[in-house]
Amino acid sequence: MDMTVRPRRLRNGETLRKMVRETRVDAASLVYPMFVMEGTDKVEEIDAMPGQYRYTVDRVGEKFKELFEAGVHAVMLFGIPDKKDEQASEAYNPCGVVQRALKEGKRVCPDMYYITDVCLCEYTSHGHCGVICDGDVLNDETLELLAKTALSHAEAGADMVAPSDMMDGRVAAIREVLDNNGFKNVPIMAYSAKYASAFYGPFREAAGSAPSFGDRKSYQMDFHNGREGIKEIMLDIEEGADIVMVKPAMSYLDIVANARDMVDLPIAAYSVSGEYAMVKAAAAKGWIDEDRIVAEMAVSAYRAGVDIYITYYAKEIAEMIQKGIIG
Could you write out the DSSP letters of every residue in 55-116? EEHHHHHHHHHHHHHHT--EEEEEEE-S--BTT-GGGS-TTSHHHHHHHHHHHH-TTSEEEE
Residue ranges in the chain modelled with pLDDT below 50: none
CB 289 within 8 A of CB 296: no
Q: How many CA atoms lie within 13 A of 54 on its CB side?
A: 22
Average pLDDT for the chain: 94
Confidence (pTM): 0.94
CA distances from 7 to 4, 12, 267, 287 (A): 10, 10, 31, 32
Burial of 99 (0-12, 13-18, 19+ CB in 10 A): buried
Q: Say which residues have a Cβ less than 8 Å from residue 25's Cβ, sequence separation at least 6.
A: 298, 299, 302, 317, 321, 326, 327
Burial zone of 111 (CB within 10 Å; 0-12 exposed, 13-18 middle, 19+ buried): exposed
Catalytic annotation on 247? yes
Residue 18: Cβ-neighbour burial (10 angstroms; 0-12, 13-18, 19+): exposed
What pLDDT score was predicted for residue 1?
80
pLDDT at 212: 62
Quick one: pLDDT at residue 208? Answer: 67
311 secondary structure, DSSP code: E
Whole-angstrom Cα distance, residue 54 to residue 8?
48
Cα(297)–Cα(89) distance, rounded to whole angstroms?
37
Which of 63, 84, 148, 194 is labelled catalytic? 194
Torsion angles phi and psi, residue 208, rounded to 5 = 60, 45
pLDDT (0 to 100) of residue 55: 97
What's the pLDDT score for residue 327?
A: 78
Collapsed DSSP state (helix, strand, coil) of residue 292? helix
Q: How many residues does the chain have?
A: 327
Of these residues, 63, 148, 247, 280, which one is catalytic?
A: 247
CA-only gyration radius of the chain, Å = 20
Distance CA 156, CA 278 (A): 35
φ/ψ of 263, rounded to 5, equals -125, 150
CA atoms of 99 and 77, how far apart (whole Å): 10
Q: What is the pLDDT of residue 3?
A: 87
| Cβ(82)–Cβ(125) below 8 Å | no
